[in-house]
A and B are shown apart, each in its own frame.
Chain A
Amino acid sequence: MGSFICSISERDWQIAKTKGIYGNKAGRIGENGKYFEFSPSVKYSIIRDLVGMRNGDKVFFHVITKKGYSRIHGIYIVRETAFYDLLKIWDDDMELFPYRFLFGPHPNYKYLCKRDAYIEVIDFYELIEQRKIWSLATLENEMNIEARSVKKIEDGIEAKEILRLLHRDFKYRISDSEIQFSPISISCTAKPLQSLINEIGRYENSIKALLMYKISQNNRSILEILGSVADFMNEVFIAQTTRKSIDILCIQNYLNNSKKYTICEVKTSKCEVGSLKQLLYYMDLFKRKDLVDLDNDIITGCLIGQKFAAEVIDFSRQRNAQNVNGNIILIEYKPIQNGSDANFRRIA
């Protein structure tokens, strides 16, 4: 299973929490007051962030308040995976929030959801400072970080830490009244989100979205290369200060309770030597994280692209032949079905 944190305004949370529906916006209001739809790249980034969701995944909500500290609410589970629907749900004149999923209270923690339990976002940031949350740098929108409303976090320690804080503060950080849930069902106009993935080979976020979907579905062509994946997430911070992030991180169970971390870097077209340098550097940086057991865990690198420079293939094969902790996997992809899908082939 996976875990997510989704940002939402305080106004929209009132409807979302009773109906059990979350929606990501599809555009923004410009300086002239007109509404603009997001560019294809941003649209695919929204799909990328949501399409890896599975029924039963855990969800926390980052509720952005106008006054005081923002809050993290939870814990909920996904009851209908991501879809696209234009049916009006929220009271907004311009935005329909069409990238959606349905959720409900986590069956083991209904009491938290019934009282709308929360922690303040500064407590969450303390977890980041303490490195108990390591997959994110912040929940705020920052200059050097892509604005994202849906973020996948690590399902083990990170989700457990947030849940612990929700229990720690339960007596004090709850709503005055109980929530009356009236969950809505998926409408007949809804389209599965994966059906909106197109233009593979043109946009980096499009191929990333496809990969997130295929990993979530335990797709054979991917798992035959990477092996069985226990948890996976995208845009994972590798170096908090420089705001560098891994495109996709797969966590796999390895021998005797150890882990295998596969760091994936995805390129739209050709992987040059610079891509390999970056990947190898990320692998070395990741080894230094507190969560990595240097003696037992394995760090593997994976480059995904349509083509590879000869030097990249040459060095990767030579390095792999030496088999010193952590191979380099090169995966070539070819767009098919008018760019709505791709074939994958391991070349090193």
Chain B
Amino acid sequence: MTKKVASVDPYSSLYQDLYSLGIFDRNINGNLHILEKNDEHKTILIERRYVDLSGNLVISGFYFIQCLYFICETEHIRKFRGNLEIVVKKKAKGNYMEVDPIILARGYKEDVSHFIANYNEIQRRKPIQLFIFG
């Protein structure tokens, strides 16, 4: 379920170049635009845009990313889900299908991996993607 990214500082890497970790597809006819970032909590909110048939940039959704420089535990997931809920309310009028959640951490406790696997299976929402770095 988890994928590995080659970086020791993913937050900085992403901020400098969103495509640097290979998480996002460069081949999309559009671009990514950082809307918000929080250096303390290491979160980044990205707007995903594509070029429509008239040549205009149109929003196709959002990425909400958090980088955890430690092993991810249940409490971190609780906070992440709370922040995700705020983003979904603010940016997507409560529609979870509009926001792709991503976590990058040094590792995940077993109960966290188990919960996320169930969450992704049971909730009809965008799955929470888990990455490991370092």
In the complex, are the beta carbons of A288 and B122 less than 8 A apart?
no
- A288-B94, A294-B93 known; A273 vs B122 contact (CB < 8 Å): yes
- Scoring B77, B96, B111, B118 by chain A CB atoms within 10 A of each residue's CB, the highest score goes to B118
Encode contact with A along B81-105: 1 for CB under 8 Å, 0 otherwise: 1100100010001111000000000
Asked if A276 is an interface residue, CB under 8 A from chain B, the answer is yes
Q: Least Cβ distance of A242 to chain B in Å?
A: 13
CB < 8 Å A-B pair total: 49
Asked if B3 is an interface residue, CB under 8 A from chain A, the answer is no
Q: Which of A37-45, A60-68, A145-153, A322-330 contacts B (4 or more CB under 8 A)?
A: A322-330
Nearest residue (CB) in A for B93 is A288
In the complex, which range does the number of interface residues on chain B fall in?
A: 20 to 34
In the complex, are the beta carbons of B95 and A288 less than 8 A apart?
yes
Interface SS of chain B = helix
Asked if B115 is an interface residue, CB under 8 A from chain A, the answer is yes
Nearest residue (CB) in B for A274 is B122
Contacts of B7 in A (CB 8 A): none
In the complex, are the beta carbons of A324 and B118 less than 8 A apart?
no
Interface SS of chain A = helix
Asked if A127 is an interface residue, CB under 8 A from chain B, the answer is no
- A280-B124, A295-B89 known; A322 vs B94 contact (CB < 8 Å): no
For window 278-294 of A, CB contacts with B under 8 Å fall at 280-281, 284, 287-288, 292, 294
In the complex, are the beta carbons of A294 and B122 less than 8 A apart?
no
In the complex, are the beta carbons of A324 and B122 less than 8 A apart?
no
In the complex, are the beta carbons of B124 and A277 less than 8 A apart?
yes
Nearest residue (CB) in B for A292 is B94
Asked if A138 is an interface residue, CB under 8 A from chain B, the answer is no
Asked if A318 is an interface residue, CB under 8 A from chain B, the answer is yes
- A280-B122, A281-B124 known; A322 vs B93 contact (CB < 8 Å): no
In the complex, are the beta carbons of B123 and A323 less than 8 A apart?
no
Asked if A161 is an interface residue, CB under 8 A from chain B, the answer is no
Asked if B78 is an interface residue, CB under 8 A from chain A, the answer is yes
In the complex, are the beta carbons of B95 and A324 less than 8 A apart?
no
Contacts of B111 in A (CB 8 A): 318
For window 10-69 of B, CB contacts with A under 8 Å fall at none
Contacts of B96 in A (CB 8 A): 284
Encode contact with B along A311-331: 1 for CB under 8 Å, 0 otherwise: 100110011011111000000
In the complex, are the beta carbons of A322 and B74 less than 8 A apart?
yes
Contacts of B106 in A (CB 8 A): none
Q: Least Cβ distance of B21 to chain A in Å?
A: 27
Contacts of A318 in B (CB 8 A): 111, 115, 118
Which residues from chain A sit less than 8 Å from chain B, CB to CB?
273, 276-277, 280-281, 284, 287-288, 292, 294-295, 311, 314-315, 318-319, 321-325
